[in-house]
Chain A
Amino acid sequence: MRSEFDNELNKLTVDLTKMAHLVDSAIENMIDAFKHEDKRLAKEIMTNDRLINDMERTIESRSFNLILRQQPIASDLRKVTSALKIVTDLERIGDQAADIAEIILNMEETQSYKTVEHIPLMAKKTKLMVREAVDAFIKQDLQSVHMVKQMDDEIDALFEEVKTEVIEILKEENDKANACIDFLMIAKYLEKVGDHAVNIGEWIEFNQTGKVNKHRLI
């Protein structure tokens, strides 16, 4: 029974999974572009962000129409509403990857990836976090959600380290001022990616339990 509804719910999950993979690739490509100063790849990330944005609209539209036509309740309602929330955070992660790619595209500084010692570590951890959040979504795994939250604490700490380093570089090397601003922006964007990955985890928790951080929402 309700085969049309089940088909639509399935399409919603398929679309969201596809979007999650696109976002995961965007982050991975962004780190590669940064590491290898690959401006062509940076441009590609910026262009592909449009695909991620289009998917957001598709998923939103599918969710609204499901609510209109099918009046979902119980687990169906949690699935549709959490999809609406997750799609926003995924799109923002895509934006952050594109914003970092734009900085890389316009960066004059060479060998920049390792200039700030903590940035490569922060980038790696962010990539892992996004991968973990996407996996948590696909498997609906609350353990992974918990790990994502723990990794965010590490990302936040690394951001503070980056800030301290950048301030030191600014004080000692005046000619690196422009690059320092870029580094700080990149680190801030990475930190925001971490926050959005945590949000995704929270909506996975909601889908399973109806609660976010022990607050009952439904």
Chain B
Amino acid sequence: MENKIEAKNLNLWYGEKHALKDVNLNIVKNKITAFIGPSGCGKSTFLKTLNRMQDYVKGVKITGDLTIDNENILDKRVDTTILRKKVGMVFQQPNPFAMSIYDNVAYGPRIHGIKNKKQLDEIVERSLKQAALYDEVADRLYTSALGLSGGQQQRLCIARCLAVEPEVILLDEPTSALDPISTLKIEELLMELKDKYTIAIVTHNMQQATRIADYTAFFLVGEMVEYGATRDLFSMPKDKRTEDYITGRFG
């Protein structure tokens, strides 16, 4: 079992607020790892650190080590555009660009220099198929993405992410704004994608974590309290705080 991402003694401050405290956590390659924990526990903060999204937040300070394929991504010399190609992100609210479905998916490849129409066509079709959306939109690729349903928009966001051929996909509560059927479709999609990609997902939904995650990390007040195989963490948690959280004995 290979680690794709390794965090060692990772600390993050938002100004005075110590939001991540000495986090040591490995994300296994080609597996789904879920981050769970109550609001404000640091799970989304940790997720966003993995592709340097924190760079846009004023007053952020990060110490410690964070490597992807043994390369330190916190180094100031890292090209974050290339990093974010390698490590894609999907957010809670689907955020299709106000343009056609085609242009949404082609956006990333175009930024990275692909101009050839035939190549772009292939990338768009392949990505939409990978995201299990192509059949539903093949006849309206040039219509606005804003006309899609919530579930479709979210799959479009996944297609957009896949179009630049990432190695890691980060998802921050990707289904909490979606209906149950869209949720299950996206879960099924993630299960298929993990063969080729490493996936990390923040979720508030325990059952989602037990359905799809191979590994789960429980965060609490900036600390990574417990990490393990999902089956172990949810059947026999080692830490009482984990047990109390997952059984809903505290929120």
Contact = CB atoms under 8 A, between A and B. Distances in A.
Nearest to A73: B234
Contacts, number: 35
A150 interface: no
B150 interface: no
A77 B235 contact: yes
Nearest to B233: A74
Nearest to B207: A71
A210 B235 contact: yes
B89 interface: no
B250 A1 contact: yes
A210 B249 contact: no
Nearest to A72: B247
Given A71-B207, A73-B206, A75-B243, A218 B250 contact: no
B248 A1 contact: yes
B228 interface: no
Contacts of B145: none
B236 A2 contact: no
A38 interface: no
A165 interface: no
Contacts of B32: none
A156 interface: no
B59 interface: no
A76 interface: yes
Given A1-B249, A73-B247, A74-B234, 7 more contacts: A2-B248, A71-B206, A73-B235, A74-B247, A78-B235, A210-B236, A218-B236
Interface of A: 1-2, 5, 71-78, 209-210, 218
14 contacts: A1-B248, A1-B250, A2-B247, A5-B248, A71-B207, A73-B206, A73-B235, A73-B247, A74-B234, A74-B236, A74-B243, A74-B246, A210-B235, A218-B231
